[in-house]
Amino acid sequence: MTNVIENAGRSVRTALAGAGDMVVFGLRALVSAVRPPFELVETLRQIQLLGWRSLSLIATSGLAVGVVMSMHTRSSLERFGAESMIPTVLGIAMIRETGPLVTGLLSSGRLGAGIGAELGGMRVTEQIDALESLAVDSFKYLVVTRVVACMVALPLLTIFFNVSAIVGGWAAETTVSGMTFGYYYRNAFSNIGFSDLIPSTLKTVVFGFLISSISGYLGYNASGGAQGVGQASTRSVVLSAISLIVANVVMVKFILFLFPS
């Protein structure tokens, strides 16, 4: 009995210590990001790898989500005869919440797993040690560049997601009602204010930070060979997705507090 309690206590302590480490790791990345020297070329390379290469995934998902949301919105608004509201409803839903959140979750899958596995792989094959042995600050070179790249890429990906979702929504709508694109996008933006677009897009910077610092932490500190790499990758996705959702709740509350609609 005492053993069980002891074990439970130990795992709680380990979990808390791990969380604490993770927070320190993330903050260290932020501080290091603003201190010279800057790994500019490597950061750009990471933006290309993490951002540009996710673009097709994000754009395709955006289109699909737009189409599906448009169909759902239509079926419920049709009952009130409010089909003309479809673009408006879709625009609000996408830009305020669905766009940022879905982009974040997709990225926590694509980028979180990628960073976790890549850094984990580099750790267990001693590539990180090799970097250090070559007088390179591996934390700065590997982690900070990815954190910065993700923080830049996420809002951009969100914008691309929103745009393709609106295009997808229009495509679905025009096949049914023949609505013109001009009418569609003007209406999509008809109920959106700056306080809808700007905070919700910028909050994905936080998503980018969470994804990259969590998966960076797990990958950078991976151990135990191929199995350890797989574990780092899986846990990166799970932890970053969960933390992202929780952070989203907090941020939405905060945004609504700052910009009551």
Partner 1 sequence: MKNGENAIRFENVSKAFGKRKVLDGITFDLAAGGVYCVLGRSGTGKSVTLKLMIGLMKPDRGTIRILDREITGLDSRELAPVRAKVGFLFQYAALFDSITVGENIAFPLRRRGERSDEEIRRQVEEHLDAVGLEGNYDKMPAELSGGMRKRAGLARALALRPSILLVDEPSSGLDPITAKEIDEVLMGLREKHGATLVIVTHHITSARRMADEMLVLDNGRVVARGAPAELETSEVELVRELFRAEDVA
Partner 2 sequence: MGDFKKSLVAVFVFGGLILFAVGLFLIGDRKKLFSGSVDIYTEWKDLGGLQNGAIVRVSGMTGGEVRGIELPPGPEQKFRVRIRVVEDFLAILRSDSVAMIQTDGVVGNKLVEISAGTAKGAPLEEGSLIDSREPFEFADLISEASAVLANVRQVVDDSKGQLQEVLDSASTIAQKTDDFITQVTPDLQKAVSSGSKVAEDVQILTARVRAGQGTVGRLLNDDALYNNARNISADIRSSTSGVRDMIEEAKQREIVKDVKNVTAGANDVVQRANDLLREIQPNQGEGSSLVRDLRQTLFFANEAMSDFSESAEALKHNWLLRGFFRRRGFFDLDMISVEDYQAGARAPGYPVKRVWVPYHALFAQQDDEEALTEEGKRRLTQAMAELLPAAKTNAVIVEGYASGANRTEQFVRSQERAHLVREYITRAFLLRPNYVGIMQMGEVQPESGGAPWEGVALVLFQPQPLAPETVNANNPQSSSNGR
Of 160, 170, 207, 209, the residue at the interface with partner 2 (CB under 8 A) is 160
CA distance 149 to 145: 6
Residue where the block lists tokens 């839903």 = 93
Closer CB to partner 2, 34 or 41, in the complex: 41
Residue where the block lists tokens 């609609």 = 261
User: Which part of the chain contacts partner 1 (CB under 8 A), choosing from 11-19, 56-64, 93-101, 131-139?
Assistant: 131-139
Give the footprint of partner 1 on residues 133-152 (CB under 8 A). Answer: 133-139
- Three-state SS string over 164-194 comes to HHHHHHHHHHHHHHCCCHHHHHHHHCCCCCH
User: For partner 2, how many residues bind (rule: CB under 8 A)?
Assistant: 47
Residue 22 · residue 217 · CB < 8 Å: yes
Q: If you ran DSSP here, which 8-state letter would residue 232 be given?
A: H
- Nearest Cα neighbor of 246 from 212, 202, 197, 203 is 203
End-to-end CA distance of the chain: 54
CA distance 108 to 215: 9
Site track 22-51 with partner 2 (rule: CB under 8 A), x = hit: -------------------x--xx-xx--x
Taking residue 234's Cβ as centre, other Cβ atoms within 10 Å add up to 15
Closer CB to partner 2, 197 or 252, in the complex: 197
Closer CB to partner 1, 121 or 168, in the complex: 121
Asked if 21 is part of the footprint of partner 1 (rule: CB under 8 A), the reply reads: no
Query: Is residue 260 within a helix (H) or strand (E), and if so which, with residue range?
Result: none
User: Which part of the chain contacts partner 2 (CB under 8 A), choosing from 105-113, 135-143, 177-185, 217-225?
Assistant: 177-185
For residue 129, the partner it binds in partner 1, partner 2, none, with Cβ less than 5 to 8 A by kind, is: partner 1
Closer CB to partner 1, 83 or 137, in the complex: 137
Taking residue 163's Cβ as centre, other Cβ atoms within 10 Å add up to 17
Query: Residue 242 Cβ, how far from partner 2 at the closest point, in Å?
Result: 27
Residue 151 · residue 205 · CB < 8 Å: yes
Residue where the block lists tokens 């309690």 = 5
Asked if 17 is part of the footprint of partner 1 (rule: CB under 8 A), the reply reads: no
Asked if 5 is part of the footprint of partner 1 (rule: CB under 8 A), the reply reads: no
Contacting residues toward partner 1, per CB under 8 A: 118, 121-122, 125-127, 129-139
Contacting residues toward partner 2, per CB under 8 A: 41, 44-45, 47-48, 51-52, 55, 77-85, 88-89, 92, 95, 152-153, 155-157, 159-160, 162-163, 177-180, 182-183, 185-186, 189-194, 197-198, 201
